[in-house]
Amino acid sequence: MTERVVLAYSGGLDTSVGIGWIAEATGAEVIAVAVDVGQGGEDLEVIRRRALDCGAVEAYVADAREEFATEYCIPALKANAMYLDRYPLVSALSRPVIVKHLVRAARQFGASTVAHGCTGKGNDQVRFEVGITSLAPDLRCLAPVRDLALTRDKAIEYANTHALPIETTKHNPFSIDQNVWGRAIETGFLEDIWNAPTKDVYTYTDDPTFPPVADEVTITFDAGVPVAIDGVAVTPLQAVQEMNRRAGAQGVGRIDIVEDRLVGIKSREVYEAPGAIALIAAHQELENVTLEREQARFKRGVEQRWTELVYDGMWFSPLKRSLDTFVDDTQRYVSGDVRMVLHGGRATVTGRRSETSLYDFNLATYDTGDTFDQSHAKGFIEIYGLTAKLAAARDVRFGNHVDLGEGELPTESTDD
């Protein structure tokens, strides 16, 4: 039986050329796998037909938008996942769902190798290959751009020589990856980190400098999942799409960051993720109302580790699964409504309400009706600070007291 290779197929130049390039270099038959995670562009049937026209013996296409939103974006939302506190894992989240379909296709078509179009400098090669071998340790991985020296110039020459049905322009200065959770833009003049992004960089967001009238939106959550917007029931996919539209119109979610890649280099990335940023802001605020203090404090550390694991390509790892269990448990009471104003590039929470809230108005108020017994505070402070007090007394006893500095204490000015 002829060897078979499953190729993650985008429909673009590199992966279209990769079909024939792999076949010639390895003698294997190539099965193209295209997965729609909300990246827009061409119809899946058009992409399937192109793969076959470029020499694939089979073409597997999957509309994974609902799956991606429900099984990948929502867990990231529950974890408030923001790499370096700013990047909501746009590309990192899409790789494991694509990996799952690649492995499924490899089993279905009897392939022994899975190929992808990543270079040797980025994070995605790790995400694909670690993901693939985590689900199917017996499968081999191949990266034509990295392993078979498929440069862009060679890809264009190959496409022209073989009359492949693919555009071969050299003029697009950017490398772009997008899905329903957001859009990532890199390379070109952005590699000079002093250069500001130009207007043509952005697609998902409008310029926040001249925003339209402010947009007020109410997002309803049930156990950490957005289930309605302004009272209208939505699926996870619909929630992300609607917030992309509304927050994007206000310029919310533009991110310009120099980030630390897993492979050890720093990389300048520009992202736009209007729906993700707005939903995470709303979700975090509802957690502020519904999570117990110590649980919330511990969750922040879990969120950071969860985010790092996903960024580093460890979606299918044992630790990630264990952290999922913790995060899901914290969402038991994260239900209620969050009101936000979207305007001028900002998503600002202006109201929150929840039947499972831990906020007690009568305990919090300073006005009549206050039920907080302030007489308890003195004893609480005495016990709370006891260990520090004892340690300070020891320091004084051994001459290690804190240096208060020299000079006179400031006096209150009497000038009018």
CA-nearest of 74, 116, 77, 120 to 95 is 116
- 11: which residues sit within 8 A by CB, 6+ positions away? 34, 41, 42, 46, 47, 50, 51, 166
Is 414 within any annotated ligand binding site?
no
51 close to 105: Cβ distance less than 8 angstroms = no
What angle, rounded to 10 degrees, do the helices at 293-311 and 90-109 form? 60
The pair phi, psi for residue 402, each rounded to 5°, is: -70, 135
- 129: which residues sit within 8 A by CB, 6+ positions away? 116, 141, 143, 313
Catalytic positions: 14, 95, 124, 175
Is 9 within any annotated ligand binding site?
yes
Q: Which residues of 379-393 are buried (b: 16+ CB within 10 A; e: fewer)?
A: eeeeeeeeeeeeeee
Q: What tokens were used for 254?
A: 């533009």
| Cα–Cα distance for residue pair 365/284, rounded to 1 Å | 23
Is 14 within any annotated ligand binding site?
yes
| Cα–Cα distance for residue pair 56/158, rounded to 1 Å | 16
Is 124 within any annotated ligand binding site?
yes
The pair phi, psi for residue 118, each rounded to 5°, is: -80, 155
Is 8 within any annotated ligand binding site?
yes
DSSP annotation string for 137-154: TT-EEE-HHHHS---HHH
Is 413 within any annotated ligand binding site?
no
| Cα–Cα distance for residue pair 205/211, rounded to 1 Å | 11
Is 385 within any annotated ligand binding site?
no
Residue 60's CB: how many other CB atoms inside 10 A?
21
Longest dimension (CA), the chain: 96
The amino acid at 156 = I
Is 123 within any annotated ligand binding site?
yes
Is 239 within any annotated ligand binding site?
no
Is 36 within any annotated ligand binding site?
no
Is 301 within any annotated ligand binding site?
no
Residue position matching structure tokens 């206000």: 250
Alpha-helix runs per DSSP H in 38-113:
44-53, 65-68, 74-78, 90-109
Is 10 within any annotated ligand binding site?
yes
Is 117 within any annotated ligand binding site?
yes
Is 400 within any annotated ligand binding site?
no
Is 392 within any annotated ligand binding site?
no
- 3: which residues sit within 8 A by CB, 6+ positions away? 26, 27, 28, 29, 112, 113
Q: What tokens were used for 322?
A: 């264990």
Helix (H) or strand (E) holding 353: strand 346-353
CA dist list (Å): 180 to 160, 233, 330:
33, 19, 25
Residue 375 three-state SS: helix
Annotated binding site: 8-16, 87, 117, 119, 123-124, 127, 175, 259, 271
Annotated binding site for L-aspartate: 119, 123-124
Binding residues for ATP: 8-16, 117
The annotated binding site for L-citrulline is made up of 87, 123, 127, 175, 259, 271
